[in-house]
Amino acid sequence: MSEQVNSDLMSKVVALCKRRGIIFQSSEIYGGINGFWDYGPNGAPLRRNIEQLWWRHMVEMRDNVVGIESTIICHPRVWHASGHVEQFCDMMIDCMECKRRYRSDQLENPNQCPDCGSKKMTEPREFNLMMKTYVGPVFDEEHAAYLRAESCQPIFVNFNTVRNTSRQKIPFGIAQTGKAFRNEINPRFFTFRSREFTQMEMEFFCREEESMEWYEYWRGERWKFYTRELGIAEDKLRWKPHENLAHYAKAAVDIEYLFPFGWGEIEGIHHRGTYDMMRHAEYSGQEQDCKVFDQETRESYYPTVVETSCGLDRICLMMLCDAYHEDLAETRKEGMDEDERVVMRFPANVAPVQVAILPLSKKLSEPAGKLRELLSLCFRTDFDDAGSIGRRYRRQDEVGTPFCVTYDFDSQDDGCVTVRDRDSMEQERIAVNELTVWLLDKL
């Protein structure tokens, strides 16, 4: 995290998310639970649209990547092989007085509690970030299992089954999106560091000799995803090479976004060597399932893995921060011509609602409802007949709806509606029977 902090923008985004049912605390009526967040009626579609866009970009548009959907709980040995059970730890110090727990590398003085000032502090102790549960009726170590800490391990474990059944040959990739769980010590920055979150990962299996070429290729593809598909400006993104490479890795880099609280990682692109496949061969004893056979040399070898790994919730947060704008809009409020408006400038491909249908009067709800039905065949729509038209525009602006279609008393006679553009706020009269084509063109 860096110096440039805009906590004002962050609190505005958090407040908007709550006000408009985008994201709010999980189990709020019980006071919430730290590090867990729910997505509401405007957040769930945003999240889903981004996930679908990723799936389309990474799986559906390619013939050398296939998708899977694995379980959250795997055989516990998977997490021993991956190193998570032994190494996925932070060093923690507890205050014996106020019982607060701190990451030792984040304490200025490890001998004094920054909250209560007590000097009764424990020695640094390892704290594992894996979430544990029990499978079956007996709650003992033999039945212990873990919620996955990353979604990629099941990909490695399923490698050969997927390769055989999809008739893929090296080089090819396996992708999946799904929940991951980490008992983060300090969940913070809204959803940025959560304890339950969704990852979108792709593991690309190739020959060692070609691996750096593929690494460069995937770096390029992932950059394009953010700048072209999601429309993020290049100066809000940066590459951050890893300072300490894992011993088996040839290269690793993060893509960071300039959040209101500073630069933060949204994705990692990692060269993982043959490490994962060798570890699973060793721990499972099924070497043949972790190797591929080379027809030319008549030998089996471990494929090298290049990974792209991003967090859906962090991308959603990036989109929310990036979309948030305040400007001035015409108002009918007494004594004012213009009033401040909040507008979310989401790209149309991820906006929760693409077209809102607003009958000018409740008396027009029936024909306007029919228009909504028609437009729903092609677009994500919303229907709102409550309150003044100005207020309805404001509501749609706050959830980032690119177009509002007003159905008025003239519409029944002239067969036209007024379409208002979210960003320019310009209004245009369009014939209903040309509306779908007009909107398809714009969206």
Q: Judged by CB, which is closer to ligand ATP: 82, or 194? A: 194
What single letter denotes the amino acid at residue 151? S
Q: By three-state DSSP, how is residue 137 classified? A: coil
Q: DSSP state, 302?
A: P
Q: Judged by CB, which is closer to ligand ATP: 246, or 425? A: 246
The gap between the terminal CA atoms of the chain, to the nearest Å, is 35
Q: Which of 113, 266, 292, 404 binds ligand ATP (CB under 6 A)?
A: 266
Footprint (CB under 6 A) of ligand ATP, residues 160-189 = 182, 184
Q: Does 267 bind ligand ATP (CB under 6 A)?
A: yes
Judged by CB under 6 A, the stretch of 306-314, 351-359, 385-393, 430-438 that binds ligand ATP is: 306-314
% helix / strand / coil in the chain, to the nearest 5? 35, 30, 35
**H-type helices in 168-210, by residue range?**
none
Number of residues that bind ligand ATP (CB under 6 A): 16
Q: Does 274 bind ligand ATP (CB under 6 A)?
A: no
Q: Judged by CB, which is closer to ligand ATP: 47, or 420? A: 47
Q: Judged by CB, which is closer to ligand ATP: 154, or 311? A: 311
Q: Judged by CB, which is closer to ligand ATP: 178, or 402? A: 178
Neighbours of 223 (CB within 10 A): 17
Q: Which of 84, 279, 291, 314 binds ligand ATP (CB under 6 A)?
A: 314
Q: Judged by CB, which is closer to ligand ATP: 1, or 374? A: 1
The count of C-alpha atoms lying within 13 angstroms of the C-alpha of 337, restricted to the half-sphere facing its C-beta, is 0
Q: Minimal distance in Å, beta carbon 84 to ligand ATP? A: 10
Judged by CB under 6 A, the stretch of 71-79, 96-104, 160-168, 260-268 that binds ligand ATP is: 260-268
Q: Does 268 bind ligand ATP (CB under 6 A)?
A: yes
Q: Minimal distance in Å, beta carbon 34 to ligand ATP? A: 12
Contact 341, 327 (CB under 8 A): yes
Q: Does 313 bind ligand ATP (CB under 6 A)?
A: yes
Contact 440, 378 (CB under 8 A): yes
Judged by CB under 6 A, the stretch of 50-58, 94-102, 161-169, 266-274 that binds ligand ATP is: 266-274
Neighbours of 358 (CB within 10 A): 26
How far apart are alpha carbons 344 and 398 in whole angstroms?
Answer: 6
Q: Does 151 bind ligand ATP (CB under 6 A)?
A: no
Q: Minimal distance in Å, beta carbon 237 to ligand ATP? A: 13
Q: Minimal distance in Å, beta carbon 419 to ligand ATP? A: 37
Q: What are the backbone angles phi and psi of residue 299, rounded to the nearest 5°?
A: -130, 155
As given in the structure block, the two tokens for residue 306 are 């290049």
Footprint (CB under 6 A) of ligand ATP, residues 49-78 = none
| Cβ-based neighbours of 64, under 8 Å, separated by 6 or more | 168, 171, 172, 173
Which residue has the CB atom at the shortest distance from ligand ATP? 311
CA-closest candidate to residue 406, choices 330, 443, 355 = 355
Q: Does 194 bind ligand ATP (CB under 6 A)?
A: yes
Q: By three-state DSSP, how is residue 273 classified? A: strand
Q: Find how far residue 389's CA is from the centre of its chain.
A: 33
Q: Does 265 bind ligand ATP (CB under 6 A)?
A: yes
Q: Minimal distance in Å, beta carbon 191 to ligand ATP? A: 7
Q: Which residues of 71-101 are buried (b: 16+ CB within 10 A; e: fewer)?
A: ebebbbebbebbebbeebebebbbbeeeeee
What are the E-state strand segments in 141-297? 144-147, 172-181, 196-206, 237-241, 252-259, 262-273, 292-294
Q: Judged by CB, which is closer to ligand ATP: 193, or 279? A: 193
Judged by CB under 6 A, the stretch of 221-229, 264-272, 289-297, 354-362 that binds ligand ATP is: 264-272
Q: Does 311 bind ligand ATP (CB under 6 A)?
A: yes
CA-closest candidate to residue 392, choices 429, 420, 423, 430 = 420
Q: Which of 193, 272, 279, 372 binds ligand ATP (CB under 6 A)?
A: 193
Q: Can you give the binding site for ligand ATP, defined by CB under 6 A? A: 150, 182, 184, 193-194, 197, 199, 265-268, 309-311, 313-314
